[in-house]
Structure 1
């Protein structure tokens, strides 16, 4: 497809944006009968306490025969060079004894030196657990559904057969055991350098994973998405370095337990936790502001693509027989530094895809998870605002989606702004084209877009040509207020606003632009001020229920009324976790007691599961 055709697609998408329709008076009620009596009739009746509550309980996942997606690991091991396996231990910064194997470049002394070099800020690790906890059944009283909200969805649609409903998480946000069982430091272990003390324990999921999976299975959720920590598999990150046997065993056991509960595992290979080796001898690079994203993920390092592909091959040859879906990168744009970063990501992703499909003969699916925040024009009747929204959206997704889904060049929004972009050759485009089975998107919210100068579309290109512009890299004005003066939606604790109608617009944009099935790989909502509430009030999280049910209602509308192929949705996250800085933004559908590690179900978890099950989801 040439650029003109893509422009046509984008143009047709812009025409489908939501517009304001003038209306006079209050909201119409077409469902009400016109023949209703004009006046009520009042009467007395004997009073009694006859109101009753129907006690409903969740239905757990039913174990069934496991599906196989590739040959067993002993067969797949022949696809990669022979690996050496070893174990290390636990790093204690206050240890009085030192390792003596200084002649071994990958021994305990070298592994300890990695942590000493990283010197993670405010490092403490005083978790409750030090070994895997065996699961216990979930008491029936925990599975009683909460009272229904008075208002709720009244649609009559069902989800298509095979629609994947699940929950998601990432290693650095839930695992804990940060410097235990051979794991080496990653970007996530040093990222917080301010006064906030990072809790390296997080949720101790590394030891509590069986109980966590048990709890999700008891709620009837079939799909479980998680990430693997690169630094647990390869503490020294690079090819030809030893594999951590304890890391391999841990994720083997985790995947086996998911399958044993009748659930389906889905794996992300890199969820922001880049090994520190790619920053070389200058860790301040990890804190440097990148040109494109929010954090410098070191993807631009010249050794990164081959190292990532090597890591992916090791993981896939161990687990591909049981893993249904693979995500190579999580939201790559947000951790891209420059044009080389983008090129290295799509190059590495494509190599992993070809290995999985052509050499490993994997029967599962592969994709990436792309970042969120759909840009909607501040004034849908303003051509300048519509062009700004197109510029913003194409910049966020086009550098990856154009070559991967359409086999065409980067969008002009990206090339005109990022001067050091790596040109894509015809060979590149042929190799990258079609290297994803669906489009994974994390559509938490929407953002209101206008040009840097109101009404002036040319100001976008002026910004693109000016490396010092404060509006770079997107070169648009992002706000939360629409032209009518109202916020775009109900605000959460962070950047998230409840924007269900714009989700439907976004799904139309994605499907009609890149023409692949869409999966909501993450979406969630932290209730405002939740961290300050009593636990009982945290559990009764009606705003989060409103978020999930309204979003899923619009997914159904997009499927049945717009013809958009949406094939899955994964709630973020199945419990409150470390949100890259602190714990005050509660995205979870379960609470976590930071002292005892006790988990409790929130109302939104029950409401979301009930909504999905009532509409035909397994």
Structure 2
């Protein structure tokens, strides 16, 4: 999941996109109807309470008959990589100390591993949750798969999704797994980033032990793709090349992938989703935030590139044969907020891409995904507002997108504004060009943009300390020029903005010239966590969000010529939103005491929308 950048200062992101801000033609809100040609007639008929009563069930995923492969199996793939040593470390629990381990001379032994947790100095880590071993799944009762009553108004369109459209749901390890210090995982940034007064990631949804049941629940609903993340610090507790691989972690995610495939679904894997290993960042250099701290996460560390590339190779060597879609970085803008950090991300991503396609000769897709609340000009007829929107979008996306997708230099706005910025040389640009198979974007909402009061140029000459709008130098709002909110608001920063979403897809496709992958989108209904369970489950505002966005995807494909590769709903279950459980983005409710899950209405509505537009013929 991602967080808004509204009001965040010192966020060093960059981008160069097209010079011209795109707009789409207006669409009337009035639906077409047929005018009655005669006066109504009135008559009597037998009455029945079941006149409008229908029952439909979710269509579960069928069991697979074959398993497609996308790369060499581990025994062959490892030939393209250095030999890997593996080991296990067990668990770290409160009260355990380094003294209990006897292998103090081993730099990668139990004592060294335990010392990392000792140094992390966790607050209020008193439990490991309800489970300590993988839970076997149970069948989903048919009674849970009955579709809810539909909303009176709904989408009315004539389009079907392309045969290769990727539809699924998403989650991230730090937000659902729990088991943070168990089975060899070492500390990540997220254990220290959130203020001690806020909920931590220690337990969350216990998905690390409940993944089989979670997968079964998704397959029962007919979900086709499941996007998840693998924690770097669980695979390589000591992070760097040459250090041992955690065999328990390899076995766990191997089984997770096989469980997804056995359920008739397909896996999408992200390598890094905010949970950078803590050793990249000194504990006394972590800036905490009441909700989530925006920190460099070690991306600018001089060892980061080699370490991440090694980690990527470990994952691809073990799992690329069965995973059709890979993502290297999730929303790196939020953590790589200085020039060196973004520069490292661009170099690391490109090297992993080359290994995947050039060395493994893999046939799946590998890309990167970004956050950006699409900047729209407050006054589209004012050229300075249009320029501000273009700057806002290019500084967030072009910093990464220019070299990776277009083989072009970092945007001028970055080179002229960001401290320490430097140009890429010709050989670097040639190497990076085209090193992504899709443009991943998490387009939760839109942002209304206008220039800083003193003007963009004057603002950009200041520093982050002297001007709160630096480095973007634009004002970010949620109201249009007429004073209306841009859409229905949520529990957090998200507003329902389907028309802007379609405009955004057009912008991305024509700017970066790669298939657009909507890798996250979702809506936390306002005040949902305070409602009784039946009212949480009947989440019509979330249904409106999903169905309107999916409708705009179809229009974008058929009316605007945009190649939209797919869409993944965030999130498949209410989870830990970086120190918060009240912003519920999930399409399932979680009982925090029992860990029981309940399907929400929006889950049924979203899947039904897609299914009825896959097999139907015009």
Q: Give the structure-1-normalised TM-score.
A: 0.93
Query: 1:478 & 1:63 partners in 2: Cα distance?
Result: 48
**Which digits, 9 at most, give the CA deviation of each residue in 1:235-259, with x for residues without a partner?**
0111111111101100000001111
SS in 2 for 1:471: coil
The yes-or-no answer on 1:16 pairing with 2:12 is no
Are the counterparts in 2 of residues 192 and 198 from structure 1 also a CA contact under 8 Å?
yes
Shift of 1:41: 5.5
Query: 1:317 & 1:46 partners in 2: Cα distance?
Result: 68
Corresponding residue number in structure 2 for 1:3: none
Corresponding residue number in structure 2 for 1:338: 338
The yes-or-no answer on 1:283 pairing with 2:246 is no
**Which digits, 9 at most, give the CA deviation of each residue in 1:314-346, with x for residues without a partner?**
111000100111100000111113111011000
Corresponding residue number in structure 1 for 2:237: 235
Q: Which among 464, 487, 490 is matched to residue 489 of structure 1?
A: 487
Corresponding residue number in structure 1 for 2:5: none
Corresponding residue number in structure 1 for 2:358: 358
Are the counterparts in 1 of residues 372 and 393 from structure 2 also a CA contact under 8 Å?
no
Corresponding residue number in structure 2 for 1:564: 562
Alignment of 1:49-198 (within 5 A): 49-64=49-64, 65-95=66-96, 98-198=100-200
Corresponding residue number in structure 1 for 2:416: 416
Corresponding residue number in structure 2 for 1:306: 306
Q: Which among 531, 536, 541 is matched to residue 534 of structure 2?
A: 536
Are the counterparts in 1 of residues 438 and 516 from structure 2 also a CA contact under 8 Å?
yes
Query: 1:347 & 1:124 partners in 2: Cα distance?
Result: 40
Are the counterparts in 2 of residues 118 and 190 from structure 1 also a CA contact under 8 Å?
yes
Are the counterparts in 2 of residues 63 and 261 from structure 1 also a CA contact under 8 Å?
yes
Corresponding residue number in structure 1 for 2:8: none
320-329 vs 91-100, which moves further = 91-100
Query: 2:257 & 2:151 partners in 1: Cα distance?
Result: 36
Are the counterparts in 1 of residues 160 and 613 from structure 2 also a CA contact under 8 Å?
yes
Query: 1:574 & 1:105 partners in 2: Cα distance?
Result: 40
**Which digits, 9 at most, give the CA deviation of each residue in 1:546-567, with x for residues without a partner?**
0000000000011100111101
Cα pair distance change 1:28/1:574, threshold 3 Å = closer
Query: 1:194 & 1:463 partners in 2: Cα distance?
Result: 35
Cα pair distance change 1:218/1:493, threshold 3 Å = same
Query: 1:614 & 1:29 partners in 2: Cα distance?
Result: 21
Shift of 1:452: 1.1
Are the counterparts in 2 of residues 73 and 317 from structure 1 also a CA contact under 8 Å?
yes
**Which digits, 9 at most, give the CA deviation of each residue in 1:262-305, with x for residues without a partner?**
111111000000001111xx31222279xxx9332210000000
Shift of 1:92: 1.4
**Which digits, 9 at most, give the CA deviation of each residue in 1:414-471, with x for residues without a partner?**
2222121232100110000000011010000001000111xx7xx1121111012110
Cα pair distance change 1:106/1:45, threshold 3 Å = same
Are the counterparts in 2 of residues 183 and 232 from structure 1 also a CA contact under 8 Å?
yes
Are the counterparts in 2 of residues 339 and 418 from structure 1 also a CA contact under 8 Å?
yes
Alignment of 1:481-560 (within 5 A): 481-560=479-558
SS in 1 for 2:100: coil
Query: 2:266 & 2:46 partners in 1: Cα distance?
Result: 55
Alignment of 1:211-250 (within 5 A): 211-250=213-252
Corresponding residue number in structure 1 for 2:212: 210
Corresponding residue number in structure 1 for 2:4: none
Cα pair distance change 1:334/1:388, threshold 3 Å = same
Query: 2:590 & 2:129 partners in 1: Cα distance?
Result: 14
The yes-or-no answer on 1:266 pairing with 2:261 is no
Cα pair distance change 1:417/1:574, threshold 3 Å = same
Query: 2:34 & 2:136 partners in 1: Cα distance?
Result: 55
Structure 1, unaligned runs of 5 or more: 1-5
Corresponding residue number in structure 2 for 1:436: 436
332-341 vs 485-494, which moves further = 332-341
Are the counterparts in 2 of residues 504 and 554 from structure 1 also a CA contact under 8 Å?
yes
Shift of 1:28: 5.1
Q: Which among 443, 453, 458 is matched to residue 462 of structure 1?
A: 458
**Highest RCO, 1 vs 2 (Cα 8 Å, sep ≥ 6):** 2
Query: 1:414 & 1:348 partners in 2: Cα distance?
Result: 20
Shift of 1:196: 1.4
Shift of 1:43: 5.8
Shift of 1:17: 5.7
Query: 2:428 & 2:537 partners in 1: Cα distance?
Result: 50
Are the counterparts in 2 of residues 163 and 617 from structure 1 also a CA contact under 8 Å?
no
Shift of 1:372: 2.6
Backbone CA RMSD of aligned residues: 1.9
Query: 2:431 & 2:461 partners in 1: Cα distance?
Result: 31
Shift of 1:30: 4.2
Query: 1:178 & 1:40 partners in 2: Cα distance?
Result: 67
Are the counterparts in 2 of residues 404 and 432 from structure 1 also a CA contact under 8 Å?
yes
Shift of 1:18: 6.8
SS in 2 for 1:11: coil
Are the counterparts in 1 of residues 227 and 268 from structure 2 also a CA contact under 8 Å?
yes
Shift of 1:118: 0.9
Are the counterparts in 2 of residues 170 and 271 from structure 1 also a CA contact under 8 Å?
yes
SS in 2 for 1:416: helix
Query: 1:123 & 1:433 partners in 2: Cα distance?
Result: 45
Are the counterparts in 1 of residues 193 and 288 from structure 2 also a CA contact under 8 Å?
no
Query: 1:142 & 1:42 partners in 2: Cα distance?
Result: 41
Structure 2, unaligned runs of 5 or more: 1-14
Are the counterparts in 2 of residues 448 and 479 from structure 1 also a CA contact under 8 Å?
yes
Are the counterparts in 2 of residues 121 and 193 from structure 1 also a CA contact under 8 Å?
no
Query: 2:60 & 2:127 partners in 1: Cα distance?
Result: 34
**Which digits, 9 at most, give the CA deviation of each residue in 1:560-610, with x for residues without a partner?**
001111010000011000001111110000011111110111000000000
412-421 vs 362-371, which moves further = 412-421
Shift of 1:261: 1.2
Cα pair distance change 1:538/1:617, threshold 3 Å = farther
Query: 2:559 & 2:22 partners in 1: Cα distance?
Result: 17
Are the counterparts in 1 of residues 176 and 206 from structure 2 also a CA contact under 8 Å?
yes
Corresponding residue number in structure 2 for 1:447: 447
Are the counterparts in 2 of residues 559 and 565 from structure 1 also a CA contact under 8 Å?
yes
